[in-house]
């Protein structure tokens, strides 16, 4: 039987001007492009909520743990990519926060079970579901708005011409 080891909850690595990729707990990655850092810098990824803001709104339940990207406040010359694996077929969004601030939604792309976003500084990050209802095969992107609260359908268009009354005749009246 193969030996199993506990998964690391934090990793660090030095990355410099040539760029590189740091892979952390749960397969989370930071991809640093060439030129993003002017000097060799120790970067870190940890699965930690210590110092992170309170939970997200109820409409966005967590789809990943909270990850801390360090050093906080580090500013990159070129944005880095942050990638977090997510459950298959999840409609998800990335949230980020700096120490002492609230969670903010970040532009996110999801490809092959990985949520990715760009950042020019480090902070906390996590993935949350974009809606609260579970997807079904018939409806992979359910609306978080209850059916009763949705707007009614628009009114049907009315005909442009009115019907003539039955007493109206198209025959001219006899003349003098």
Lowest model confidence (mean pLDDT) among 31-35, 52-56, 58-62, 171-175: 171-175
Q: Which CATH architecture has domain 10-134?
A: Sandwich (2.60)
Q: pLDDT tier at 7 (50, 70, 90 boundaries)? A: low
Given a cut of 70, whether residue 137 has pLDDT beyond it is: no
Q: What is the pLDDT of residues 17-30, one digit of tens each?
A: 999 999 999 899 99
101-125 as b/e: b if 16+ CB within 10 A:
eebeebebebeeeebbbbbeebbbb
CA distance 49 to 28: 15
In angstroms, the Cα distances linking 54 to 105, 106, 131, 137, 141 are 15, 17, 19, 33, 27
Given a cut of 90, whether residue 16 has pLDDT beyond it is: yes
Q: What is the pLDDT of residues 77-99, one digit of tens each?
A: 999 999 999 877 777 888 888 88
**Domain spans of the chain, in order of start:** 10-134
The pLDDT score that the predictor gives to residue 172 is 52
| CA atoms within a 13 Å half-sphere pointing along the CA-CB vector of 100 | 2
Q: What is the pLDDT of residues 122-132, one digit of tens each?
A: 888 888 876 54
């Amino acid at each position: 039987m193969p030996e199993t080891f506990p998964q690391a909850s934090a990793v660090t690595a030095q990355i410099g001007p040539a760029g590189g990729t740091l892979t952390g707990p749960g397969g989370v990655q930071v991809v640093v492009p060439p030129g993003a850092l002017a000097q060799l810098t120790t970067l870190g990824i940890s699965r930690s909520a210590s110092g992170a803001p309170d939970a997200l709104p109820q409409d966005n339940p967590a789809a990943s743990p909270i990850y801390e990207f360090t050093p906080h406040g580090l500013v990159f010359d070129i944005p880095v990519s942050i990638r977090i694996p997510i459950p298959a077929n999840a409609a998800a969004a990335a949230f980020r926060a700096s120490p002492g601030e609230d969670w903010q939604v970040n532009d996110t792309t999801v490809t092959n079970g990985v949520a990715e976003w760009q950042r020019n500084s480090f902070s906390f990050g996590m993935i949350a579901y974009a809606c609260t209802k579970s997807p079904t095969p018939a409806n992979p992107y359910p609306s978080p708005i209850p059916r009763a609260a949705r707007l009614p359908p628009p009114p049907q268009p009315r005909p442009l011409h009115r019907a003539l009354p039955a007493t109206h005749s198209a025959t001219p009246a006899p003349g003098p």
